[in-house]
Amino acid sequence: MADRVETLKTSIATVSIAGDFREKLAAIARAGYTGIEIFEQDFIAFDGTPVDVGWLVGDYGLEIMLFQPFRDFEGLPEPYRSRAFDRAERKFDLMNSMGCDLVLVCSNIAAAALGGIDRAADDFAELGERAKKRGIRIGFEALAWGRHINDHRDAWEVVRRADHSHVGLILDSFHTLSRSIDPQTIRAIPGDKIFFVQLADAPKIDMDLFYWSRHFRNMPGEGDLPVVEFMRAVAATGYDGPLSLEIFNDQFRGGSPVEIARDGHRSLIGLMDDVRRSEPDIRLPVPDIPPRAHCHGVEFIEFTTSEEEAADLAAFLAVMGFTHAGNHVSKQVAHWRQNDINILINTEESGFAHSAYQAHGTSVCDIALRVDDASRTVERARMLGAETVTTPAGEGELSIPAIRGVGDGMMRFIGIRSDLAALWEIDFVLVEEAGDCTGVGLRRVDHLAQTMKYEEMLTWTLFYTSILEAAKVPMVDVVDPGGLVRSRAIQNDNGDLRVTLNGAENQNTLAGHFIDRTYGASVQHIAFACDDIFTTAEALAARGFQVLAMSANYYDDLGARFGLEEAFLARMQALNILYDEDERGRYFQFYSRRRSGEVFFEFVQRLDGYDGYGAANAPFRISAQKRDLTSSPFAGVDGGVDAG
């Protein structure tokens, strides 16, 4: 269970996650929230009285912080006006029974609404008086598509003129930011007149506001809206009430309640940590957590496999120029190395790696990243709700801090200035004849490609960007002959951290096939960087490495697209090297024909600051791989396609 951060009151609207009411409450409580916003629909669908709802929520250790929505109230002519007050009284009955004292009234969208800021203020003054008698407070929210009130500044003016102790403002980051209203205008509102704050982010999409809001909202940090700026302005007012997530998202409705609730809590803590860092003069009820860690690259990648398959993987690594450099002092783990790249082959028959082998087959079970301070990195991750893992280390061996990552894999952290940096001397016995391990010129891990179901992409985007110093690159669609794959890179400023997240929507894509075959392992390919792609490709060919063959048409098209010289094209074609350019530089890449388990390898060279991943080439590479799968000499040996 995540730590409950006592001082910060966190909440989530029950509409934000899937499940029946009890499932939702269990997931919300487990993630560490203080309370919930209850949606009327959840109550209506619930089989019990309002009093039962109140008890049930209390049983989970949660408070009902807000009841919503109460719609189409202000500015109505008679007889609608009287009816609206009658409706409100009935909601007050319900709220009294449930034990909830704040209701959200969203701005009127009805055609009958007359407008007029004083008319609205008068309505709220009267509603406030009635609510006060019932021990209830009224919060007014400007919907971005409200008929007359669609801006928090106007809603605040209504509240100001209503001038009633039981009438206040509700701010919602989506309604303000989706209309590009400057969040700085919030700083002029008195904090004690803000009764509640709802937070949501969203990807930048140009579409109808209502549709955008109802289907594409996501957790703060998952989208593109300036939610940190919004929250900095809210914090400046002195507001110290609950921060609540009100998220309408199609992916979340189909996702795991536990994971979505956890992502939400992570997003709130991460957001407030960002606000705290950018507003050092404002006292905020947030814990002091270590900053995001800068990643200095990949220290090692660990494969789990069986004794029999290990020989095959080792032979594959040898062909790619890796050297067997050492063996673990107490475990069945072999260390293979080439320059700055370390690959481990784990064939233990118990423990985490073995469980991962049983679940996913030969696959990457562990990724170790270099950071400045490993324990502070894990501490940050833990406070953001990540699952920390302690693995038993033998006597004299190093215990490497770890958290649970994508696909249940392990993510470890190695402090570059700690004794963990001496891992290879302490935990491994060197193979005498290992030599200099320069191989075919593969220098370091350029990127890791992790594949997941499409609905998990936001989870893992938030995982990386909240724990590490990393930005998310805009999503690209990769057309696989079997369907669409969404791809998004997570990377840091100097390119020491590069992970691509690939979301598969169906099993007919290569990515979907991977998930199917591995039962949800994560790493689908590993890209190694070299300094001279032609030299490396030739050296690999000389060692018997089989490259993925590209079609002649690809090179015809390439020549036409970039105006490349014939001789240069011919040289690339001879070695099956793919090419791309961005506004800065050039990119060369080629792929292994074969896979180990379901993992394949990529070889890249970046020139002049090229910052992409050759997305334009992906459809052709995928087609080549699919063509190859049906005729692979390795089918059945290394897990090629042998099942329909």
Q: Which residues bind Mg ion (CB under 5 A)?
A: 172, 198, 246, 527, 602, 613
Q: CB of 149: closest distance to Mg ion in angstroms?
A: 13
Q: CB of 166: closest distance to Mg ion in angstroms?
A: 20
Q: CB of 173: closest distance to Mg ion in angstroms?
A: 9
CA distances from 266 to 220, 243, 467, 602 (A): 9, 13, 10, 33
Beta-bridge mates of residue 445:
528
If the CB atoms of residues 246 and 366 are measured against Mg ion, the closer one turns out to be 246
Q: CB of 526: closest distance to Mg ion in angstroms?
A: 9
CA distances from 208 to 29, 71, 111, 155, 217 (A): 34, 20, 19, 22, 13
If the CB atoms of residues 456 and 602 are measured against Mg ion, the closer one turns out to be 602
If the CB atoms of residues 400 and 578 are measured against Mg ion, the closer one turns out to be 578
List, edge to edge, every strand of the sheet that includes 402-404.
Answer: 388-389, 402-404, 410-415, 363-371, 295-304, 341-346, 333-338, 323-328, 428-430
Q: With contact defined as beta carbons under 8 Å apart, do 151 and 179 qualify? A: yes
Q: Half-sphere exposure of residue 363, counting CA atoms within 13 Å on the CB side?
A: 30
Q: CB of 607: closest distance to Mg ion in angstroms?
A: 16
If the CB atoms of residues 527 and 539 are measured against Mg ion, the closer one turns out to be 527
If the CB atoms of residues 352 and 528 are measured against Mg ion, the closer one turns out to be 528
**75 Rama class: left (phi>0) / alpha (psi -120 to 50) / beta:** left
Q: CB of 413: closest distance to Mg ion in angstroms?
A: 23
Q: Which residue lies nearest Mg ion, judged by its C-beta?
A: 172
Residue 308: partners with Cβ closer than 8 Å, 6 or more residues away: none
What is the Cα–Cα distance from 103 to 132, expressed in whole angstroms?
A: 12
Q: CB of 242: closest distance to Mg ion in angstroms?
A: 13
Q: CB of 327: closest distance to Mg ion in angstroms?
A: 30
If the CB atoms of residues 464 and 613 are measured against Mg ion, the closer one turns out to be 613
CA 575 to chain centre: 37
If the CB atoms of residues 246 and 373 are measured against Mg ion, the closer one turns out to be 246
**Residue 459 backbone dihedrals phi, psi, to 5 degrees:** -55, -50
If the CB atoms of residues 302 and 602 are measured against Mg ion, the closer one turns out to be 602
Helix (H) or strand (E) holding 265: helix 257-278
CA distances from 607 to 52, 581, 586 (A): 65, 9, 5
If the CB atoms of residues 420 and 526 are measured against Mg ion, the closer one turns out to be 526
Q: CB of 124: closest distance to Mg ion in angstroms?
A: 17
Q: CB of 217: closest distance to Mg ion in angstroms?
A: 10
CA distances from 522 to 367, 518, 539 (A): 11, 9, 30
Q: CB of 437: closest distance to Mg ion in angstroms?
A: 24
If the CB atoms of residues 233 and 527 are measured against Mg ion, the closer one turns out to be 527
In 10 A of CB 83, how many CB atoms? 11
| Gyration radius from the chain CA atoms | 28
What is the Cα–Cα distance from 305 to 599, expressed in whole angstroms?
A: 12
* CA–CA–CA angle 590, 595, 597 (5° rounding): 150
If the CB atoms of residues 10 and 323 are measured against Mg ion, the closer one turns out to be 10
What is the Cα–Cα distance from 458 to 215, expressed in whole angstroms?
A: 14
Q: With contact defined as beta carbons under 8 Å apart, do 340 and 297 qualify? A: yes
Q: With contact defined as beta carbons under 8 Å apart, do 89 and 130 qualify? A: yes
Q: CB of 401: closest distance to Mg ion in angstroms?
A: 28
3-state secondary structure of 68: strand
Q: CB of 613: closest distance to Mg ion in angstroms?
A: 5
Q: With contact defined as beta carbons under 8 Å apart, do 494 and 462 qualify? A: no
If the CB atoms of residues 402 and 511 are measured against Mg ion, the closer one turns out to be 511
Q: CB of 77: closest distance to Mg ion in angstroms?
A: 26
If the CB atoms of residues 176 and 198 are measured against Mg ion, the closer one turns out to be 198
- Write the DSSP string, 582-624: -SS-EEEEEEBSS-BTTBEEEEEEEETT--S--GGGHHHHHHH
If the CB atoms of residues 166 and 175 are measured against Mg ion, the closer one turns out to be 175
Beta-bridge mates of residue 81:
none
Beta-bridge mates of residue 68:
39
If the CB atoms of residues 25 and 144 are measured against Mg ion, the closer one turns out to be 144
Q: CB of 580: closest distance to Mg ion in angstroms?
A: 11
Q: With contact defined as beta carbons under 8 Å apart, do 453 and 406 qualify? A: no
